[in-house]
Structure 1
Amino acid sequence: MWIPVTLAAATFQILRTSRQHQLRTELSTNAAGFVRYAYGVPLAIALSGVLFGVLGRDVPAIPARFWPTIVTAGVAQIAATVALLAAFKQRDFAVGTVYSKSEVLIVAALGLVGIGTGLQPLGWVGAALVTLGVASLASKGSLPSLLRHTRDPAALLGLAAGAGFAVAAVTIGAASRSLSGAPSFDRAVFTLTALLLIQTTINAAWFLVTDPGEITRSARAWRPASWVGLFSLLGSIGWAWAFTLESAAKVRTLGQIELIIAFAIAHVALREVHTRADYLASATVLVGVTVVTVLG
């Protein structure tokens, strides 16, 4: 079950990212990120209302450890996003993206030290292949030159982003699994609603202190931003549900297939021409994903 859920989450994430990219013509980069939470949280609250109110399903039992865990997840995800955006400003999109893809290996490493669930030995091989293939695609064939910039600020910020996303993945799963007395989907929805409430509050508070106009501009862009909120909600439900069903290491490794989906869309819909190296990198990702899914 976790495989189709993860693939759906990755697809919705691509759709959300494309909409956010379009929003950057109207909003700042930070505000375009903020709408992901601000427009997603009303939909999450409405879904929770239908699920636990209208349909009368039982609200999951909430242990004390749920709240610090989900707060950690929310802060880690925000910090990772900020680090990634800062990496883009320091150098370019490719450098930040390549190093942020270390997330897959960091999630697996956290499992080794007892934070989350680790991979089997062959799973590590698959995760390494996925990371290599995704990094090669993201760098557009310039991976060797990018690796020479390991100590660049953009690379370090990308690694920080990868670490933040890894912590978020593990803690979202831990928070959802800590709930009891409800099906996995219900626990995922409750977890996501709490996560978005925390992230919206933190982001709004930050803008109120630094630039209140960002909130106003985000509200004015409600038409395109609503799509971001919808796709963000659907994607986030998928991730939270998948983390509930399977280890974060496997989910995030399979989730890297989003770049392959984007690659295919660009080839079919946009008629983009790709090199032999691009196809080799794509094949590497697919082999790695298969290894992790079957043997990891």
Structure 2
Amino acid sequence: MWIFITLFAAGCQSVRTAYQNTLAREAGFLHATMARSLYGLPLVSVYLVICWSLFGWVSLGNPPRFFIAASVCAVAQIMATYFMLRAFQSGSFAMGTLLAKTEAVLAALIGLPLLHYTLTIGSWAGIFLGVLGAVVMSVKWKNIRQAHKDISLLLGLASGLCFAITSVTASMASHALSGSLVTSAGVTLWYVLALQSIILCGIQMYKSKDLLAPFKHEFALSCKVGVLSSLGSIGWFTGFALVNPALVKTLGQIEIIGTLYYSKVRFAEKMTKQQWVGGAMILMSVVLVVTSTVK
């Protein structure tokens, strides 16, 4: 089940990221980051009601653990999205997305002491192969000694770290609730989006001195970002609740196919042989993870 949910989430995120990149260029980083939460909250609210009616409600099994983990998740996702959008502007759409994919191995490492999940040798091989593929695609080998000064590289890696923290804390928050895991994931997602909306809308209103500022910029495009983001997030958060987040994010790297398409067609970016090789490695990592976990 988690495989199909993850593939759905990856497909939605691929399209959403492309729209969000465009929105960042048109309305700025803050609005593009805010749109994914504020404009996605209504759809997630409807989804939560459906989960409630189908799977039943949940109770707070460990309130402090839930609120701390979910709040950290919300802030980490804001930072991850911001860093990724900044990476787009300083590098390229494809490179920014691919560098953020280092989150898979980071999620595995962070999750070991916090979630107590175990991974097979095949799963570890797949995770590291996926990250290596992202590195092959994004590093300019001629300038390898100066890589630490490459702002797009640093922003992409920072985004990957924050996304990894998001994945792990989302899983922790969902498991702090008692009841259906599907509903628990929905409650966690709703709380995260609500908190993000409050934080980001507050910042945008303060900076613009306008209470209606969140609704005045690229409304139609913001709605597209919000709807696609909420659909993708429903898939991601449900996947995080069901299995090890590292496996979910590694399989989610199938998103690379959509990334390459939008990079080439929508943003007219050229892909080198080195980048295609890295992309092939990422696809191989997905196969490894799936074959290692499906029996």
The aligned counterpart of 1:134 is 134
Per the TM alignment, residue 244 of structure 1 is displaced from its structure 2 partner at its CA by 1.1
Q: Tell me how far 1:295 sits from its aligned partner.
A: 2.4
Structure 1 distance, partners of 2:27, 2:54, is: 40
For 1:23, the aligned partner's letter is L
In structure 1, the residue matched to 2:160 is 162
Q: How does 1:83-98 map to 2 (within 5 A)?
A: 83-88=83-88, 91-93=90-92, 96-97=96-97
CA, structure 1 residues 215+92, in 2 after alignment: closer, same or farther (shift >3 Å)?
A: farther
> Aligned residue for 1:250?
247
* Secondary structure of 1:150's aligned partner: helix
1:274 Cα offset (Å): 5.6
- Partners of 1:61 and 1:235 in 2: CA distance: 25
Change (3 A) 1:238 1:97: closer
Judge conservation of contact 1:97–1:135 (CA < 8 Å) in 2: no
Please list every run of 5 or more consecutive structure 1 residues that lacks an aligned counterpart in the other structure. Answer: none
Distance 1:273 1:72, change over 3 A: closer
Residue by residue, what CA displacement relative to the aligned partner does 1:135-175 show, whole Å, maximum 9, x if unpaired?
A: 334x3xx5424643332262333332221111100011111
Show the counterpart of 1:150: 147
Please provide the CA RMSD for this pair: 2.9
How far did residue 203 of structure 1 move?
0.8
Q: Using the alignment, how far apart are the partners of 2:212 and 2:132 within structure 1?
A: 39
Residues of 1 paired with 2:158 and 2:265: CA distance?
A: 34
Deviation of residue 279 (structure 1)? 4.0
- Aligned residues of 2:30 and 2:204 also touching (Cα < 8 A): no
TM-score, normalising length: structure 2:
0.85
Q: Tell me the equivalent position of 1:120.
A: 120
Paired residues for 1:65-214 under 5 Å:
65-88=65-88, 91-93=90-92, 96-97=96-97, 99-115=99-115, 117-137=117-137, 139=138, 143-145=140-142, 147-152=144-149, 154=151, 155-182=153-180, 184-213=181-210
Compared CA separation, residues 82 and 272, structure 1 to 2 (3 A): closer
Q: Cα–Cα, structure 1 residues 276 and 113, in superposed 2: closer, same or farther, change >3 Å?
A: same
Secondary structure in structure 2 of the residue aligned to 1:119: coil
Cα deviations by residue, 1:33-90 (Å, 9 ceiling, x for unpaired): 21111101122123323443xx37522112312111100100111122233344455x
Call closer, same or farther: CA 1:282–1:153 in 2, change over 3 Å. Answer: closer
Task: Tell me, in whole angstroms, the C-alpha distance in 1 between the residues paired with 2:263 and 2:155.
Answer: 28
Instruction: Tell me the secondary structure at the aligned position of residue 27 of structure 2.
Output: coil
Partners of 1:117 and 1:248 within 8 A in 2: no
Q: Percent identity?
A: 33
Which residue is equivalent to 2:282? 285
- Pair 1:218–1:28, CA change in 2 (3 A): farther
Which residue identity is paired with 2:226?
G
Residues 95 and 146 in structure 1, CA contact (< 8 A), matched pair in contact too: no
Alignment equivalent of 1:236, drawn from 233, 253, 269: 233
